[in-house]
Amino acid sequence: MRGGCVEYRPRYASQVSPGHAPAVTLTGMTSASSATPSRMRALTISAHGDLSQLNYSEVPVPELVQPGDVRVNIRAAALNRLDLWVLGGIPGISITPDWVVGSDGAGVIDAVGANVTGLRVGQRVIINPGVVDRACTCEYCRDGDQPLCLGYGVLGEHRHGTMAEYVVVPQENVQPIGDEVPFETAAAFPLATLTAWRMVVTRAQVKAGDDVLIWGIGGGVALAALQICKLLGANVWVTSGSDDKLARAKTLGADHLLNHRAGDAGKQARLATNKRGMDVVIDSVGEATWAQSLVALGKRGRLVTCGGTSGPMVQTDVRRMFWNQWTLMGSTMGNDAEFAAIAEQLRAGRLLPPVDSVYPLQRGRDAYARLMTGEQFGKVVVRVSGEGA
């Protein structure tokens, strides 16, 4: 325990192995129907490995445990690169058999606990995948910066996820959406947009007129970052090894297109700005692009990263760092205020994520296979329940 912060421990029914979910009745609970089934369809794994570990399964429906919980009937879920890492195995992360995968989701509230306010059964919602013990009093939770809490966890990684007909989360983890937003679009929205919003708005503080370089356009975070940067009035440069992806990014507002297969994209960006360089670089690739990102970065530049898909170990010449007065930043997920901010954008019809493809739940392996190719432009979505599931 550190400053009131408790290391992550299972607390909610949906964090417990579905085969051992406790039977719980909460006084004051409101449910959509007493006919909610006791079992549900889900995409699960019981061991780490390749696509063969993914199973279309039937598991118990999770119950509300805390009076501030809500249960959501998931209509659609979306894949992230995190899901591939969970499937393959993440050091220090353990799973139990029939582990429900998936972080992103959207659906309809099926039941609410007695202390839930401002939400109702039947309401359409999106889910923030980042979950924390709401009783935590650590310095980060007191500051409203939940992702820094030692007890912070992510659906599908630290607790059962969204690729199931029902999921239970704290009320703070859902935001209402309007009827005009399709569930497939809504499911594709939370994790990537929340991550990109924190990177662009909170950490890098992008402003109108900034030159921003975004690596790997086509992925969810990169596309969300492009849309957010254009919303803020920035001049956006994007990279890809695919001319088709670059052309599609142009239709979303990208100002400058760099094919990194044609040469060092960092040098391309620097030369194209008369060696001034970028004000901001958004890099989630890591080892393969870090050196080029620093070549592209101008004086007083800000580089922000949320991952290292090509590898975690990078090198930085500290002399260039202090001489150019760079700011190199990490960022992950987002807090409650940032989640509320992006939900407001979605309700206003802005920052709608491109959807690459949609698969029914029983073809979950095919959805994973599509993401593994790296050929997608936008989010790979799984329709979990409702029409077409």
The CATH number covering residue 268 comes to 3.40.50.720
pLDDT above 90 as % of the chain: 86
Based on the domain organization, do 95 and 23 belong to the same domain?
yes
Based on the domain organization, do 29 and 115 belong to the same domain?
yes
User: Is the residue at 341 inside a domain?
Assistant: no
What residue spans of the chain are helical by DSSP H? Answer: 81-88, 139-142, 183-187, 190-197, 220-231, 243-251, 265-272, 290-296, 318-324, 336-347, 364-373
**Model confidence over 17-46: pLDDT tens digits?**
433 343 344 556 676 655 689 999 999 999
Phi/psi for 277 (5° steps) reads: 85, 180
Based on the domain organization, do 303 and 362 belong to the same domain?
no
Q: Which two tokens stand for residue 313?
A: 């170990």
Please tell me which residue, 218 or 34, carries the higher pLDDT value: 218
User: Is the residue at 335 inside a domain?
Assistant: no
Based on the domain organization, do 256 and 325 belong to the same domain?
yes
Q: What's residue 24's pLDDT?
A: 41
Based on the domain organization, do 59 and 180 belong to the same domain?
yes
Based on the domain organization, do 180 and 206 belong to the same domain?
no
Based on the domain organization, do 74 and 123 belong to the same domain?
yes
Q: What's residue 15's pLDDT?
A: 39
| Predicted confidence band of residue 7 (pLDDT cuts 50, 70, 90) | very low
Query: How large is the average pLDDT for residues 361-387?
Result: 96
Domain count, the chain: 2
Pairing of strands 104-112, 30-31: antiparallel
Based on the domain organization, do 142 and 28 belong to the same domain?
yes
CATH for 144:
3.90.180.10
- CB neighbour list of residue 307: distance below 8 Å, 6 or more residues apart: 81, 221, 284, 285, 286
User: Is the residue at 342 inside a domain?
Assistant: no
Based on the domain organization, do 183 and 197 belong to the same domain?
no
CA-CA-CA-CA dihedral for 89, 95, 98, 100, to nearest 10: -80
User: Is the residue at 154 inside a domain?
Assistant: yes
CA distance 54 to 107: 23
- In the chain, where do the E strands start and end? 30-31, 39-45, 55-60, 69-78, 99-100, 104-112, 124-127, 130-131, 153-154, 166-170, 174-176, 211-214, 235-240, 256-259, 278-282, 297-305, 327-330, 355-360, 379-383
Domain span including residue 72: 13-189+353-383
pTM: 0.91
Based on the domain organization, do 234 and 106 belong to the same domain?
no
User: Is the residue at 344 inside a domain?
Assistant: no
User: Is the residue at 337 inside a domain?
Assistant: no
Q: What's residue 28's pLDDT?
A: 63
Query: How large is the average pLDDT for residues 65-88?
Result: 97
**Model confidence over 327-370: pLDDT tens digits?**
999 999 999 999 999 999 999 999 999 999 999 999 999 999 99
CA distance 76 to 85: 21
Residue 167, CB-side half-sphere exposure with 13 Å CA sphere:
39
Based on the domain organization, do 365 and 282 belong to the same domain?
no
Residue 113, CB-side half-sphere exposure with 13 Å CA sphere:
20
Q: Cα separations (Å) of 296 from 95, 120, 196, 319?
A: 41, 49, 20, 16
CA distance 296 to 277: 5
Please tell me which residue, 136 or 32, carries the higher pLDDT value: 136
